[in-house]
Amino acid sequence: MRGVIELQNIHKTYKRKVLDSCNYSFPRTGLYAIYGVSGSGKSTLLNIMAGFEKPDSGEMRSDFQGIEYVMQEHMLLTNCSLKENLWIKLNATEYEPSEYDSMIQDTCARLNIGHLIEEKVAVLSGGEKQRASLARALLNTPDVILLDEPTASIDHDLKSDLLALLLNLSKDRLLVVTTHDPLVKEYADITLLLERGRFLE
């Protein structure tokens, strides 16, 4: 295998053809931005890469230890604190409960949300929720993180901080980001345009 994820002739059709012979090989590290108009199949592609959906034909070959998916809509339990959300995540892993607190502290500190650990998710801002989702993805030290429109619901000033953070994280893992946001291009190592169901680099 040349990359950590290889897409080979991926086809996916709902009422219309969404992905049509989509091919690409993602390397082990780097920040990859996938652009495309609405309905171009960006989210479908991420769902296939995350294993949530199966392609109609074609093959996705992968060679990673762990993959995490940060959805556009934060997938956090709003009535629970940030710490409780992360604790729930760790509880599904093989880590020892005695390690949970330090892992949560370290990860949140790295994402500048260490001071929000005890806060309920409901009171967090859009940017803070995005970082919280990212913190949850990072807990499992995945090889690959997929992010669907990570800058969609945050203020312009905070976008740069988040993108800088993603760029930093991509030094030792693969980050694939779908976006409409032109600012992401400035930070991405590679920008891919998804058009008519296939990539134009």
Partner 1 sequence: MLSTIILIVSLVMLNLMFAYLANQYDMINKDYLTNNNVKVIHVDRAAEGDNNSRAIRMSDEAEINRLLAANGLAEKAKAYRIYNVPTVFDSSMKTAYSILGVGEELAFLISDTCTLKDNSICVKEASAQSMAIKVPVVEMKDGGYSSKETVELTFKAEEGATSENAIFIHSIPNNNQAYVNENEAFHLLDIMFQGTENSTEYIRESHLEKIVVYVKDIQDVDQVGKLLKSNRYYTSYTFSSFENFSANISSTLVMLISIGVVFVLTSIVTAVLLLVNYLRIQKKEVAILKLNGYDSKNISRIYAKLVFIILARIIILSAGLYFLSYFIKPLQSDMEHLPVILVLNLFILLITFLTVYRFGIRAISRMHMMDLLKRGKEFE
Residues that bind partner 1 (CB under 8 A): 47, 52-53, 69, 71, 75-77, 88-89, 92-93, 136, 140
Residue 132 CB, nearest approach to partner 1 (Å): 12
At 190, the amino acid letter reads I
Residue 156 CB, nearest approach to partner 1 (Å): 26
How many helical (H) and strand (E) elements, i.e. helices and strands, does the chain have? 6, 9
Residue 170 CB, nearest approach to partner 1 (Å): 21
Identify which of residues 30 and 142 has a Cβ nearer to partner 1 in the complex.
142
Identify which of residues 91 and 160 has a Cβ nearer to partner 1 in the complex.
91
Identify which of residues 1 and 92 has a Cβ nearer to partner 1 in the complex.
92
State the Cα torsion 168-171-174-179 to the nearest 10°: 30
Identify which of residues 56 and 186 has a Cβ nearer to partner 1 in the complex.
56
At 27, the amino acid letter reads P
From 147, 152, 191, select the one nearest 166 (Cα to Cα).
147
- Pair 1, 63: CB distance under 8 Å: yes
Residue 50 CB, nearest approach to partner 1 (Å): 9
Task: Specify the DSSP class assigned to residue 120.
Answer: B
